[in-house]
Structure 1
Amino acid sequence: MLPQPRSAARRLLTAAALLALATLLAACGSNTGTSGEAKAAISGDHSSPSAAKSSSAPPKPSKVLMPTGPAAQLSKVRDTAAGPIMMTTLNGAKSGVSGKVWVWLPPQYNDPKYAKTGFPVLTLYAGGQSAGYNTWTDNQLPIQEIDQQLVSQGKAHPFIMIMPVQNLDSAESRALECADIPGQPKIGTWMAEDIPDFVRANFRTVKGRDGWAVMGASTGAFCSAKLALQHPDVFKAAVPIDGYWNPDSPLWKGHEQERQANSPDQLIGAGTADVRMLATAGGANPYETKLVKAWVEKAKAPTTVEYYEQPGGKHLTSDFKKMIPHTLEWLTANTAGPESD
């Protein structure tokens, strides 16, 4: 074959170079036209584009705690216009205490639309000894009906309501003051640990403490304040209605250090409990208003306490009843509502 002229050879070399370059670009792609598969091959990532897209942020943690079991045996004790009140005897695994607990579930709880919804929990303590009874379970303090009225108006959460006894004996000389008094039944542990365990075992609740509150009147006010201040990991909010703040049961005799450790009057100024409280007093009782105001002024951050004085209010169940709407609205503003996944 005869040698080709030099110009022809140059043209052939240039064409060959262009062809090689085009082939390389086709294999590797360009910044503007490279496919996802090609880019993956270049980078050494052999996962598919669909797999890359699916590796998004992890799912949000659930805010609902489903019942853990075992289920308790609940029996109906009374019907209300807002649904039945149930009762069981709770044998506390941690405290060894056995006592009655009443339960009310808002109508929304059993509505299929809320089957995957967790509800806030409100524990209610009565006045007096409350040995074998609780005034929040009868028409004296119809908090269940009032709650549903406010729910329909968008002013309150539909709370699960838990109403335990406070004492195991009706004699004032045997008052346990919602505490583990040395040598006595550990009802403080029953209230702060066994009862929340019972609720979580049986009902759909809001995970964490944000949906948990406690409220009580008179002696129940003492209990609600004490339990919230001692257990801010369990309760976020408390409403002590017309309460007192110093333990005075004869059973504390010989146990002054323990008595002080269970005194809301001491606990309020410790500045260790991140809880919110609403403390009320009846305006018709100057001694009570002075007592409650002085206690509120002792609060130290992170504890916060609001004061509410009921105009003309007396230390009577009939006046406690009048405050139910206000206390439920306050609790709603200061606790988490129902949560769904």
Structure 2
Amino acid sequence: MGLTSNKVLWLTAAFAVLLFTGTVWLWPRLARRNWRAVSGRVALLFGTQLALFASVGLAANQAFGFYASWADLFGREKAQGVVVDHTALRGAGGPLAVLDTGRMAGAGGSRPEAAGQIQKVDIVGRTTHIATPAYVYLPPEYFQARYRARTFPAAVVLTGYPGTAQALVNKLHYPRTARELAKNGRMQPMILVMLRPTVAPPRDTECVDVPGGPQTETFFAKDLPDAVAAHYRVGQKPRSWGIIGDSTGGYCALKIAMHHPGAYAAGAGLSPYYTAPIDPTTGDLFRGDRSLRDRADLWWCLKHLPAPDTSLLVTSSRIGESNYKATLKFIERVRATKLTRISSIILESGGHNFNTWRREIPATLQWMSGRLSKR
């Protein structure tokens, strides 16, 4: 049974309840001071605490999608790392291969022309040779005969770290929200390409071109749009592409939009930060290259680089988000550039979590839709 299985969660919770009940029932019998009674009390307390901790941890993982599997949890997921196998491109018939298709929940979910479709895909970068799984949401209009000659705008959607791409579908409800907004005329139909920024797991590359390592920024700026455009009817111009992310993904979205306005017309960071951290999950991202480190610092970019012709959106909360003051400062810095356009969503309260981002996603998708063109 997998880490995200409901059976695992319920069995663990049931075991915790059983241990708690057993502790209450057996405690009087273990009240003696001999070594067996003491050992029994210790074992029951330790087992109960461990089971409760595991239950809470599994429930939190179910809610927030931190890890997708046991291998992911214990850092053993290595199958989707950096690939230098050029035959993978030929075997898949291109840089993007569709592995599975899933129906959308709701009325007409079995008919893509009525509800849209979610496809699970593998993407291999032609220049970076990075391979990563993703989910692609195709709106109902994509399958309708009257739109068969039309191209659609596309938005790349990124999770935080470590995150799972599936959480963007099942927990943050991006496809369902996009479908409802388009159905109600509040945004244009868009293709969503949903994945996590951790394209070389378990390492957190912070969307940096790591010297001698994964060229993550190049993958998102060039390889990913090229792969999607080669397989789907998406607009070919920069005005057709946007990028959205939360937390680490939010930092990545802002950075990539600022660094590559020729690839993305807009970038939205939900609860972002503005400088790439260096910690045990990232390793040495810059290998002593100061120019690379400076370029990964959005404050430095605003001060020292020409203002990019792009649109940015940032979000925060007055209570509950640690980035609130930094976000207000970032807004002022961008406004001072005159050329780069900046918008924001500031909630009265909301933590760094899925519930907060679900409150921001509808307005973010509407904002993104208004800044992208069909062709």
With the shorter chain as reference, the TM-score category is 0.7 to 0.9
* Residue 201 of structure 2 corresponds to residue 164 of structure 1: no
1:95 is aligned, of 128, 138, 148, to 128
Partner of 2:339: 302
| Structure 2 CA distance for aligned equivalents of residues 240 and 154 of structure 1 | 24
Find the aligned partners of 1:71 and 1:278 in 2 and give their Cα distance.
30
What letter matches 1:147 in structure 2? A
Which residue identity does 2:294 align to in structure 1? Q
CA distance in 2, matches of 1:135, 1:87: 9
* Secondary structure, aligned partner of 1:87: strand
**What corresponds to 2:10 in structure 1?**
none
- Larger RCO (CA within 8 A; separation ≥ 6): 1
303-312 vs 111-120, which deviates more?
Answer: 303-312
The residue that corresponds to 1:55 in the other structure is none
State the AA in 2 paired with 1:287.
S
Mark the structure with the bigger radius of gyration. Answer: 1
What's the offset of the Cα at 1:71?
Answer: 7.6
Question: 280, 290, 298: which one pairs with 2:315?
Answer: 280
TM-score (norm 1): 0.73
CA contact (8 A) 1:179 1:187 kept: yes
Which amino acid counterpart does residue 84 of structure 1 have in structure 2? Q
Q: Deviations over 1:177-196 (max 9, x none)?
A: 11101121111111111101
Residue in structure 2 matched with residue 154 of structure 1 by the alignment: 185
**Which of 207, 211, 214 lines up with 1:185 in the alignment?**
214
Superposition RMSD in Å: 1.9
Deviation of 1:235 after TM superposition, in Å, equals 0.5
Deviation at 1:224, TM superposition (A): 0.1
Q: 2:154: which partner in 1?
A: 121
Residue 325 of structure 1 is matched in structure 2 by: 362
Range with bigger deviation, 235-244 or 269-278:
269-278
Q: Is the 8 A contact 1:229 1:268 kept in 2?
A: no
Structure 1: gaps (5+ residues) = 1-68
Q: TM-score, normalised by structure 2?
A: 0.67
State the 1:219 CA deviation.
0.5
- 1:236: Cα distance to partner? 0.5
What one-letter code is carried by the residue in structure 2 that aligns with 1:148?
R
Which one-letter code corresponds to 1:140 in the other structure? K
- How far residue 101 of structure 1 moved from its aligned partner, in angstroms, is 2.3
Change (3 A) 1:145 1:168: closer
Q: What is the aligned residue count?
A: 266
In structure 1, what is the equivalent of residue 169 of structure 2? 138
The amino acid that maps onto 1:323 is E
2:96, 2:312 → 1: CA distance? Answer: 31
Residues 1:168 and 1:332: Cα distance change in structure 2 (over 3 Å): closer
1:335/1:168 CA distance change after superposition, 3 Å: closer
Unaligned runs of 5+ in 2: 1-92, 106-114
